[in-house]
């Protein structure tokens, strides 16, 4: 049984997925399995992933991120879980340092690390939006975390009703369940790629509504447990 399951959902990420996989295979900590779930890509993402014999690949019809992530979790055999988006990269020590932290802090359920944005886009071709994003870091980026798989048994999987923001909703559920998500390694172990294909498209009003309905359900559960309902 591997110690860590690395879960990589992918949808149409042909130019980058090879590098992402290699950054996992190059880890200094090697007791892991890498699971790639191809969410019905129309490009060669699935074929590229399958070309690595160390990768467990699953091909499925397109279902969207939350369901794909949940499927990946259901296939994970490791005690620890970590996600990597197929266009991003890891520093070689990411798993080693996060697993070490969790080993030394048995009460900790989830450990984050810092991440750095990067891009291959020439400076003169970058949009204002891309420049802004390059300099930005979110404190609790779920894909930069390594966590105990048991968290999914405790609070459930990603909400299928959230067309976007499913990682934020899931993280909020952790907080509402009283799980400490404050621990973060101050090393930059996750590299997030800014590229031309990830621009545009806003979520619409319906998507926003779905996100907040899902979050409100989790809050309601917490309020009841906390005795707010008098």
Partner 1 sequence: MYKLNDEKMFFDIADGQAVVINFTTGMYYGTSTLGSAILENLVKGASEKSIADILRSAEGCPDNIEDQLKDFISALIEKEILLPEAGEGRAAELSPEAFSEGFDFTVDEFAEVQDLLMADPIHEVDVEQGWPILRDDE
Between 65 and 147, whose beta carbon lies closer to partner 1? 65
**Segment contacting partner 1 (CB under 8 A): 11-19, 22-30, 89-97, 144-152?**
11-19
Site for partner 1 in 204-223 (CB under 8 A): 212-213, 215-217, 219-220, 223
Residue 55: strand pairing partners: 34
Site for partner 1 in 27-46 (CB under 8 A): 41
Cα dihedral 105, 101, 25, 3, rounded to 10, equals -10
How far is the C-alpha of 132 from the C-alpha of 176, rounded, in Å? 31
Count Cβ atoms within 10 A of the Cβ of residue 129 and give its class: 0-12 exposed, 13-18 middle, 19 or more buried.
exposed
Token pair recorded at residue 144: 């930069």
Which residues touch 93 (CB under 8 Å, ≥6 apart)?
27, 28, 29, 187, 189
125 near partner 1, judged by CB under 8 A: no
Positive/negative CA dihedral, 161, 46, 41, 83:
positive
197 near partner 1, judged by CB under 8 A: yes
Residue 37: strand pairing partners: 9, 58
Q: Measured from the CB of residue 64, what is the shortest distance to partner 1 in angstroms? A: 6
**What number of chain residues touch partner 1 (CB under 8 A)?**
48
Q: Which of 24, 102, 192, 210 touches partner 1 by CB under 8 A?
A: 192
25 near partner 1, judged by CB under 8 A: no
Which residues form the interface with partner 1 (CB under 8 A)? 9-13, 41, 62, 64-65, 85-87, 129, 132-133, 138-140, 143, 163-165, 167-168, 171-172, 175-176, 192, 197-203, 212-213, 215-217, 219-220, 223-224, 228-230
């Amino acid at each position: 049984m591997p110690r860590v399951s690395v879960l990589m959902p992918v949808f149409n990420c042909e130019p980058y997925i090879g590098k992402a996989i290699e950054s996992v295979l190059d880890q200094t900590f090697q007791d892991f399995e890498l699971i790639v779930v191809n969410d019905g890509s129309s490009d060669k993402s699935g074929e590229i992933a399958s070309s690595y014999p160390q990768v467990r690949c699953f091909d499925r019809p397109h279902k969207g991120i939350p369901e794909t992530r949940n499927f990946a979790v259901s296939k994970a055999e490791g005690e620890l879980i970590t996600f990597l988006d197929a266009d991003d990269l890891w520093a070689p020590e990411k798993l080693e340092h996060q697993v070490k932290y969790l080993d030394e802090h048995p009460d900790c359920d989830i450990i984050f690390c810092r991440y750095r944005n990067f891009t291959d886009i020439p400076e003169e071709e970058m949009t204002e939006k891309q420049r802004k994003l390059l300099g930005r870091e979110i404190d609790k980026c779920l894909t930069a975390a390594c966590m105990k798989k048991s968290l999914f048994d405790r609070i459930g999987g990603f909400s299928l009703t959230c067309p976007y923001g499913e990682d934020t909703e899931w993280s909020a559920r952790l907080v509402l369940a009283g799980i400490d998500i404050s621990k973060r390694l101050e090393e930059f172990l996750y590299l997030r790629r800014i590229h031309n294909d990830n621009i545009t498209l806003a979520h619409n009003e319906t998507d926003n509504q779905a996100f907040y309905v899902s979050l409100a359900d989790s809050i309601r559960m917490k309020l009841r447990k906390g005795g707010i309902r008098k």
